[in-house]
Copies of this chain bind each other. A is one copy, B any other.
Amino acid sequence: MPDNTHIKYTLNEDEMPRTWYNIVADLPRPPDPVLHPGTHQPIGPADLAPLFPMAIIQQEVSTEPYIEIPEPVRQVYRQWRPSPLFRARRLEQALDTPARIYYKYEGVSPAGSHKPNTAVAQAFYNKQEGIQKISTETGAGQWGSSLAMAGAFFGIEVEIFMVKVSYNQKPYRRYLMEAFGGMVHASPTNLTEAGRSILAQDPDSSGSLGIAISEAVEVAAKSGGKVKYALGSVLNHVLLHQTIIGQEALLQFAQADDYPDVVIGCTGGGSNFAGLAFPFIGEARRKGLSTRFLAAEPMACPSLTRGIYAYDFGDTVGMTPLTRMHTLGHDFMPAGIHAGGLRYHGMAPLISLLYDEKVIEANAYHQTSVFEAAVQFTRTEGIIPAPESSHAIRAAINEALEAKAAGQERVILFNLSGHGHFDMAAYNSYFSGNLEDYEYPAKAVAEAQKHMPQIV
C-alpha cells in the first residue's frame, strides 16, 4: 500500500496576521524615485491621485514596516484565509529526494489564485473614497476575475481589458469574470486612443499586458475622477497586500518546527513571489539567515535574467510614470505562452532592486519543461496547477533533484499561487504535443533599448 499521508499546516482564523509587511523598511538601499513620464522629474502622491485613491497612494510611498489590514478586508479574507501550507510528501517520494518540499496554496481563494489578497484590499479602499467604478487590465484572467469578485462584494463596477491572446486561449476565465458581473474587452480595443493607435500599426495585434494597461489607465485618466484604475502586480502597494502569504507561512513553519533553505515563486510582475518571499527576506535580515530566494520566470519573457535595469514605462504606449526596473522594453511583445500572467515586459521595482543587490536569484524556464513538472505535481499532489505557478514547481523540483544529487537535506518552499482549472486547454496542448518553446531573441533588448526613455 503506498504511503499517502498528506501533511497540512493550518492556522485558526484568530491567528490570521493583522498586518501586511512592508519591505521598504528593510531594503539594503532606498528605492529609486518614480519619475514623471513627460518631465522625468520625481513625482509625488498628488500626481497619482487621478488613478488611485489616496489611502493606496500612501501605502505606495510608505516606509512603515507593518501596515494594519482593515477589518472589512479581514472580513472577506476569512472565507479562505489563513490558506494551508502543505508538505508535498507524495511528490518527495516520487522524486526520491532527501529534500523536504513545502508549498503554500493560494488556489483556495474563490477566484482560484493569490490575486484576491490585493483585489479585496483595493476594492475596499476605493469604496471608502466613494468610487463606483474601477478599470483594469488582465493577462490570463486571474487578476481580472479577482477584481470582478471583489467589486461584486463591495458594490463597485469593474471594467477589464483582457489581453487578446488570453481572451481567445482562456474563454473560461472570461466567463468567470462575467459571472462575477465584470465587463470584459479583448485588448487592444477600439474603445481607447491607446488601443486604436496599436491597432493602426497592427490590426492583428494579439495584445500584451503593457497595451492593456495603457487602455485601462486611459479610461481612468479621462473619466474626470469618476473611474479609478487598479493594477494587479508590480506596484509597492500590491506587493504589500500579498505579504499576508509569507506572514502566514512564517507561523506555519514555526508549527512545523522547520524552516526553508530556499523560497521560490514564479514572477511576471512579481506579486506572488514577493507575497511569499518578502516576510522571509525581512526575517533573514533581522536574524542573519542565509535563506536563498529564487524567482522563476518564463524563458519567453525573462525580464530578470535577460532584461536591463533601467527606467522604463509600465505600459506600452508610455502613459504611466517611469520606474527603475528590470525590463525587456515597454514595447516588447512576448510570445503567446500559456502562462499569460507572466507575459509582462517589466519586473516590480522592489524585486528589481533586490535582484540588483543580489538578495534574490532568478532562473528562466521553457514552457514544455514547466508543464512536465505540472503533470508530475498533478499526479502526486492531486492539484492541477496554473501554468504560471508551474514555473515555481519546475524550480522546486530542480532544487529537490539537486539536493538528491548532492545528498543534501534541503528544505524547499514554493508558492502555489493558483490552480489551473481555467487553463485546461493548455494541458491539452501539452498532451497533444502542440506546445512550443520560445527562446527570447538575443538582440531584443538592444532593440528595445532604442525605444526606451533616456534618463540622465
Contact = CB atoms under 8 A, between A and B. Distances in A.
Interface of A: 1-8, 10, 12-13, 72, 75-76, 78-79, 86, 90, 108, 110-112, 124, 127-128, 149, 152-155, 171-172, 175-176, 178-181, 375, 378-384, 419, 421-422, 424-425, 427-428, 431
A172 B425 contact: yes
B8 A179 contact: no
Contacts of A108: 108
Given A153-B90, A175-B425, A5 B431 contact: no
Given A4-B72, A425-B172, A178 B78 contact: no
A5 B178 CA distance: 24
A180 B5 contact: no
Nearest to A149: B382
Contacts of A124: 1
15 contacts: A2-B127, A4-B153, A8-B79, A10-B12, A79-B86, A152-B379, A171-B424, A172-B421, A176-B384, A176-B427, A178-B431, A179-B427, A179-B431, A180-B378, A422-B424
B6 A75 contact: yes
A75 B111 contact: no
B154 A76 contact: no
A382 B148 CA distance: 10
Given A175-B424, A424-B172, A110 B382 contact: yes
B79 A175 contact: no
A379 B181 contact: yes
A155 B112 contact: no
Indicate the member of A153, A422, A424 with the most B CB atoms within 10 Å. A424
A434 to B, nearest CB: 13
A381 B431 CA distance: 35
B111 A382 contact: yes
Contact of A8 (B1, B10, B78, B178): B78
Given A171-B424, A179-B375, A424-B422, A383 B431 contact: no
Contact of A179 (B110, B127, B176, B384): B384
A13 B111 CA distance: 25
Nearest to A172: B424
A419 B109 CA distance: 12
A386 to B, nearest CB: 12
Contacts of A112: 421
Contacts of A380: 152
A175 B379 contact: no
